[in-house]
Amino acid sequence: MCTVILHRGIRIVTLSGDETVSEHCSDGDIVLVQDKHGWWTRFVGPDGHTDSYDTAFDSYDKALWTAKAAAEFSAE
């Protein structure tokens, strides 16, 4: 089940298992997803396309902290 945090007016959505961006996210959301490499922080564009940093974070907390920092920057 996905979880949503609202930070500075930006939705930070954590997806689990087989949940998809198209199913739970929209333009402007930040998405946290885990794979075998770690936790990815992805940014959702208007067409559902996502961009992310070059490497995954080794923990959920680091990915969430980065997402919150990005949300603060976007809110300015």
Domain residues for the domain of 67 are: 3-75
- Look at residue 2 and give its three-state secondary structure: coil
pLDDT digits (tens, 9 = 90+) for 3-41: 999 999 999 999 998 999 989 999 999 999 999 999 999
What pTM did the predictor assign?
A: 0.91
Residues in Cβ contact with 52 at an 8 Å cutoff, skipping those fewer than 6 apart:
40, 41, 42, 43
17 phi-psi bin (left φ>0, alpha ψ -120 to 50, beta other): left
User: How many domains does the chain divide into?
Assistant: 1
Residue 70 has pLDDT above 90, yes or no: yes
